[in-house]
Chains A and B, each alone.
Chain A
Amino acid sequence: MKNMLRKTIIMVLIVTILGGITACGGDSGNSTTGDDKAKSGDKGEETTISVYWGSLEDDMQQVWFDHFFEPFMEEHPGVNIDFQCLPDVQETLRVQLAAGGGPDIFMLDCFDIPDYVEAGTLLDLSNYENQYKWEDLIYDWGLDAATVEGKLYGVPHSSEATSMYCNLDLLKELGCDVPKTRAEFEDVCEKAATQGYIPIEYGYSGANEFQQWIYDHYLGNYAGRDNIKKLFTGELKFTDNEIKGAFELLKKDWDAGWINQGQSGAITNDEARTFFQNEQAVFCTEGTWLTLETISPGSLKFDWECTVWPSMKDGIPASGSAGIGAVMSVNANTKQADLCAELINYLYEDEQRLADAIAAGYPTLCRDVDENLYPADMADDIRKTLDSLGDILGQDTVGYAPWSSYPSDTNIYMMNNLDKVYYGDYTVEQFCEEAQKVLDKELAEGFVFVG
């Protein structure tokens, strides 16, 4: 009996210990190091920089490696880059950074930067800004978006613009031109709806963040950039007509069935996009990323144009909004701060390398690139969209993309509650009153509008 008991205890202990050893986790996302032979951090003298990014398709990850990471590793023997693309990168980051760990370089949204700065998790990059003269290289509005209390906490990774894609063939069939005013826009929508087309494709089911596109179009082209700045600096309120009118117009167009026939809540963005691709919709609400990154060149088999959303009010010019797709920040606890800054600079410094990467589908960074550097065989769609992007960002009246400039809680409130207006659960007045309450709280907590 004694032996039996002893054997039992030993067996249980062995099983528990083995279970504990084998329970150590592996990768939680796609992890590529460019070369299977290069393992991260497990060869004594090698240095590994870990980079966490959002979800990217395999071919896009390969573009990162081919154009940036592999050349960087070749120029820095002994340095490995562990690039992980995670579907829920923000949740993962928060947990790891709060625990004092986390990757060396990671992707952040602009509106999250203040929270991370307050928690002391981001490295101040101001010295590197001076060292690499980023202020001469990178758009100042891009650097401003990652600046908190005068210090730089990230480098903008991609620049993009909100826009309107138009099917020119359908517009010709309807006897219309690309609308620039509200009246022209209404004319197109009415004719399109009568002919059985979807005037504006738009779907957000399961992804409320896409609501930002639609309210950016209406707010930006009804209120205008100056009034948006006044709103987020406290000089105007959501309930003022200059702002509220935008949402009233949006509701009016929704009720008229112009916005995907009132079915946007029932369909995903992917499904809505197919209506534009299949020539069932006249306008597409997506921004310049559609033809630069999202769909393959040549996918749109009709004559199209990427332009600004039309003016929604007399006196307010037609314009798009400039946005930062993501920011590259450095972990305050990183042990290779210099190397991280060097890698970030490497992405920006060589104009030719960047031009080649963009031609392959890499996002446009926040810097100018001489169009003569793009390869001659670059896809026409990409070239055309780059021209449009340049035009939109070059406007004097370019607005502020919500995900880059709006206060975080207010933006989240709008994303998650705008459909209550669509479906009649909130009046526009109620929506604006609640949004103002959230904004008032953020302004009281010290939100500073960077615009």
Chain B
Amino acid sequence: MKQFDRRKLKGMVFVLPAFLIHVGIVLIPAVGMVWYSFTNWNGLKAPKFIGLQNYVTMLSDTSFFHALKNNLIWMAMFLVIPLAIGLILAVILSNISRGQMLLRTIYFLPYVVGAAIAGKIFATFYSPYSGIASVFKALGIESLSNFAPLGNGKLALYAVAFVDNWHWWGFVLVLMFSALHQVDRSLLEAATMEGAGPLRKFFSVTVPQIKPTIISYFTFILIASFTTFDYVWIMTQGGPSNATELVSTWIYRKSFISYEVGYGSALCTTVCGGCLAIYLLFTLVQKLRRRGEV
């Protein structure tokens, strides 16, 4: 018992510095944010308590709901596209012996490019005068010579999401590649002997065995999509005409450009609460499925 307490204490001591840092940098500011959400504060003068006024204002903030809609679209894109590309390529790469490491490195390279650099480069690619449009024009493809997605309200969000996808899917490839190593080869061999084709083996043997990795990926995307900020801010700052406005950019705009820090805190608190609710719901569904009750 004494030995167990000693081991527990040793473990706590190792965890303590990180825990203290977490409390100081994450928990205390988070609690502070909830408090400020009930105030009218511009970041300078003393905050004034106004109760639920910020939350009432939020209910009629059409720009916030527009940003929320954009975020849901963003989330849907990132739940599907990088996973599909990463998984398919991981399966292909796992069957290649020669040049596999080189290919993995090449596909992973976009992930190490900083968001500011990639964002600026792609903003230039998207320029209607000096980007891909000018290439199409030079090739005589007139229908695409006006290709300027960052100036088009219908395309801008997808154009920015493409860049973030380009940055991200290499990481997903490496993640899925590692997950594929957990697949029991004997099951695949057995499936082959039973006459299963590649697609059947993939969906019936491979996917169930890498399900924990896929679930973790979904959970991460559900939450991370609401913190997406960098590419949107660098490339469009939420424009044109709020077409690429996300919840994070709207919060930033309200807090640090309009200096409505109290209102920004209310938006942030609401989004955090929503993410927590989604995560808990997702976890509950997983638990129930494991118990076989769903």
Contacts and interface: CB of A to CB of B under 8 A. Distances in A.
B241 to A, nearest CB: 4
Contact of A422 (B234, B236, B240, B259): B240
B13 A266 contact: no
B17 A15 contact: yes
Contact of A207 (B3, B129, B152, B237): B237
Interface in B81-121: none
A91 interface: yes
A376 interface: no
Interface string B222-261: 0000000000001111011111000000000100111100
A425 interface: yes
B45 A205 contact: no
B127 A5 contact: no
Nearest to A271: B127
A118 B45 contact: yes
Given A98-B43, A115-B44, A423 B259 contact: no
A265 B16 contact: no
B237 A97 contact: no
B14 interface: yes
A115 B153 contact: no
Contact of B14 (A1, A12, A120, A264): A12
Interface residues of B, number: 38
Interface residues of A, number: 42
B17 A205 contact: no
A254 B203 CA distance: 53
A262 B241 CA distance: 13
| B interface secondary structure, majority | loop
Contact of B258 (A94, A409, A425): A409
A9 B13 contact: yes
Interface in B1-33: 3, 6, 9-10, 13-14, 16-17
Interface string B23-53: 0000000000000000000111100000000
Contact of A263 (B128, B153, B237, B256): B128
A361 B239 CA distance: 33
- Which one of A95, A115, A205 has the highest number of Cβ atoms from chain B below 10 Å of its Cβ? A205
A1 B6 contact: yes
A208 interface: yes
Contacts of A97: 44
A227 interface: no
Contacts of A440: none
Contact of A265 (B13, B130, B239): B239
Interface stretch (A24-32, A146-154, A412-420): A412-420
Interface of B: 3, 6, 9-10, 13-14, 16-17, 42-45, 123, 126-130, 148-153, 234-237, 239-243, 253, 256-259
Top 9 A-B residue pairs of the complex, sorted by shortest distance between their CB atoms: A266-B151, A265-B240, A119-B44, A119-B45, A423-B241, A266-B148, A265-B151, A266-B150, A420-B241
